[in-house]
Amino acid sequence: MLPKGANLQKIRDGNRTYAITPHLPGGFIKPDLMRKYADVAEKYHGVMKLTSAQRVMITGLKAENIEEIWEELGMEPAMGFANCVRSIKMCPGNVFCKRGKQDSIKLGMELDKLYHKKEMPSRMKFGVAGCQNSCAEVHVKDIGVIGTDLGWDLYVGGSAGAHPRLADLLIEGLDYDEVLHIVDVIVKYYQKNADIERMGQFIDRVGLKKFKADVLAAFYQGVSQTTQPLVPQSPENRDIVPVPGGLTEGTLVFGDKITADSIISDIVRIYPQTVPVFRSFGMGCLGCPSATGEAVRKAADIHGLNLNEIIASLNKVI
């Protein structure tokens, strides 16, 4: 059995050595901790190595020393288990970098607090960059955000490694709370619907159009249903954020124009902002499953309304 929080390294001449990697959110380390790190590495004849996840690994260690090394460091291992959120990589953002447009440290630290080591269908990595230069490699992260003059742009499905995939842009111009809200929606959707597959593989399997439709519908539904801050700041009350029900079943998907043949239940699910429009035409029967299972054409006929006028009004708000 592996010692606590340790990775077996290459076996040389039959000798096994191990590496440990403490969790170091954002790669920030105070000078006194850095000294302690170095003292511990030296004491146990280890070698320090900077990792791509903004951490400091100590390698070349013996199994019998691992327990006391953790005690001396007083830190927690960065690695949980195989399928979890492995890392949240963040750049210095506008706190330190002259090019920064947004505070990637504040957002990155919050994401780290909420998601690091959370169980997922496969391994997952986050990236948070303060500007388009994307020093946190957002385009090869499962979930990533990039700061702009207008807020945050959110990307999904990137990965490096043996099967590299560039992330897809999901939505632009979010504020801080909206980023936390949509990440919560994406994570719950992925946990509910994905097999053992990275975010990008999941998106390729279900189709980006469907993925976008479901996630954005749930996101906008949350926006329209609450006057409170969109995202609660503590893990305890995160459950109030709406959860996407699953993959879309209707024919209408996010981005489509509404037509006379569009089904009302599909319309209000994909575009919840159309509810007041239906009501303004006197169609207050949106809670009735049989009524909402009809096409707009039939509902207009039943209510004696001008079909073209309804369609134009609905398309105006989407």
Determine, following the binding rule CB under 6 A, whether residue 93 of this chain makes contact with ligand SF4: yes
d(CA 234, CA 251): 37
Span interacting with ligand SF4, options 127-135, 187-195, 199-207, 284-292, rule CB under 6 A:
127-135
- Residue in the structure block whose two tokens are 């504020």: 175
Q: Binding ligand SF4 by CB under 6 A: which of 3, 46, 100, 200?
A: 100
# residues near ligand SF4 by CB under 6 A: 12
Determine, following the binding rule CB under 6 A, whether residue 144 of this chain makes contact with ligand SF4: no
Determine, following the binding rule CB under 6 A, whether residue 106 of this chain makes contact with ligand SF4: no
d(CA 90, CA 97): 12
Residue 134 or 292: which CB sits closer to ligand SF4? Answer: 134
Span interacting with ligand SF4, options 39-47, 129-137, 248-256, 267-275, rule CB under 6 A:
129-137
d(CA 147, CA 133): 10
The residue type found at 250 is G
d(CA 228, CA 110): 19
Within 13 Å of residue 74, how many CA atoms lie on the same side as its CB? 4
- Residues contacting 57, CB < 8 A, separation 6+: 19, 20, 21, 48, 49, 50, 51
Determine, following the binding rule CB under 6 A, whether residue 263 of this chain makes contact with ligand SF4: no
Least distance (Å) between residue 192 CB and ligand SF4: 32
Residue 59 or 134: which CB sits closer to ligand SF4? Answer: 134
- Residues contacting 1, CB < 8 A, separation 6+: none
Least distance (Å) between residue 91 CB and ligand SF4: 3
Contacts with ligand SF4 by CB under 6 A lie at 91-93, 97, 99-100, 129-131, 133-135
